[in-house]
Structure 1
Amino acid sequence: MEFLRQVLQIDDLDARFLVVYYPLIAALILLCLLYRRPAKTPAPLKQPPSRKGLLDRLAAAAITPNQITCIGLVLVTANCALYVWHRNPFLLGSGLMFAYLFDALDGVVARRQGRVTRFGGYLDAVIDRYQELVTFVAIGYVNDNWPLVFFAATGSMLTSYNKARAAMETEIDNKAWPDLLERPQRLWILCVALLGTYSLPWLLSGILILLGALTHFTALQRFVRAKRMLQAEDGVLR
């Protein structure tokens, strides 16, 4: 405990939170790995046991991709709720970096289990928006910087909406939108800002301004691309 206080420069309350939170997360992962479905056909006794990686174990576990998506939302919401209590940006940033990993895990597990569905993709997109909003609300509440949070949050929402709305008008390739600031990049930038603002108090406000500017620029990029695509289908030259 004393070692954590000296290294991270935190008080006793934050150190106790850190010691309790991460073992609980490790226990959750361990339970997911151990709670596996029984195999349909027993392996031969003489066959040596195969070594499985983390993704293989998750794919064999009795957990669905949609459940992993929901667990990610619970972890993000729990981290944000605790941030309102302990108000330590370093703990929020480190906790969110772990929680956001579930955004990648659900898709990988869905492909490994052969459970890629339209509803799964829709649920993942909806949960992503809630995760961002909960994070921004917690930051705005604790730091009382609502104008900057509003600037960054609206840019993030418009970036997602401008592509989703285009998909309602025409068939699009979800991967063929090479825009400036995608969701993974802006979330990791925000996490880095939370980690660094403990030592540089101005960093979080500066990153929120940067995120707001870049996300609104990205939304404009997507608007221009969608305009060209839709006008080409309508036969409009300009």
Structure 2
Amino acid sequence: MAYDRTAMLKLLRPAMTRILTPLGRALVGRGIGPDAVTAIGTLGTVVSALLFFPMGQLTVGALVITVFVLFDLLDGVVARLGGKGGSTWGAFLDSTLDRVADAAIFAGLILYFISRHDTLMAAVTLACLIAGALVSYAKARAEGLGLTADVGLAERPERLVVALVAACFSGLGVPYILPAGMWLLAAASLFTVGQRVWIVYQQTRER
């Protein structure tokens, strides 16, 4: 059974689009295109994650990163308002830079755990990073072969929500929430990889 991972985003996207439209209109008026917005969002995420998380500023880092993650919606708004719509290059750039941003977030958390000599949680967070990359790769590779692998518990939105919420509340002093979040993400991401491998295997068996 396929997991409808976009249900929450479908509910939030119209509201977020209305909120971001004035900003998008201002950017278009200054000649800033969607590709630039995508790059700015990724750069902001990378710098914030690698600056705030290793310093132990988890709440500040999570909140700042959340702002930049919204650029993932803003680039679409800018493309629409600029009359250019989506493009193949824009989709490729957005997908590629998403992987960079995700890696930076988990790398920042790994450095945070290392700074506190917590080798176990650094390893678990590394597992989150690797498994998350495999989740995306499995889908992309399947689609490149003419198959589908759009299933799983831990897609990118879920991974970001769990990681950022756990980091935010951990910074506010909630005990055990960040380790619990990382363990949950590692297990869910590995399970999602297995789901995608299995669904691709089933499709190849039917051919």
- Provide the TM-score with structure 2 as the length reference: 0.78
1:182 is aligned to 155
2:197 is aligned to 223
**Deviations, residues 90-131 of structure 1 (Å, cap 9, x unaligned):** 111111111111112113322333242111111111101111
- Contact 1:65/1:115 (<8 A) preserved: no
- Answer with 219-228 or 159-168: which moved more: 219-228
Are 1:146 and 2:122 an aligned pair?
yes
1:196 is aligned to 169
Shift in Å, 1:192: 0.5
Against the structure 1 CA distance between its residues 230 and 104, is the aligned structure 2 distance closer, same or farther, given a 3 Å change threshold? farther
1:112 is aligned to 81
- Provide the TM-score with structure 1 as the length reference: 0.69
1:72-221 correspondence to structure 2 within 5 Å: 72-83=41-52, 86-113=55-82, 114-144=84-114, 145-170=121-146, 172=148, 177-198=150-171, 199-221=173-195
Unpaired runs of 5+ in structure 1? Answer: 1-32, 34-51
* Moved beyond 4 Å, runs of 4+: none
Against the structure 1 CA distance between its residues 229 and 112, is the aligned structure 2 distance closer, same or farther, given a 3 Å change threshold? farther
In percent, how many aligned pairs have the same letter? 28
Against the structure 1 CA distance between its residues 55 and 219, is the aligned structure 2 distance closer, same or farther, given a 3 Å change threshold? same
CA distance in 2, matches of 1:178, 1:167: 13
Q: Could you say what the CA RMSD is over the residues aligned between the two structures, in angstroms?
A: 2.2
Shift in Å, 1:228: 2.6
Shift in Å, 1:84: 5.2
Shift in Å, 1:85: 6.2
Shift in Å, 1:164: 0.3
Q: Which has the higher helix share?
A: 2
**Deviations, residues 47-83 of structure 1 (Å, cap 9, x unaligned):** xxxxx73344444441111111100111112212321
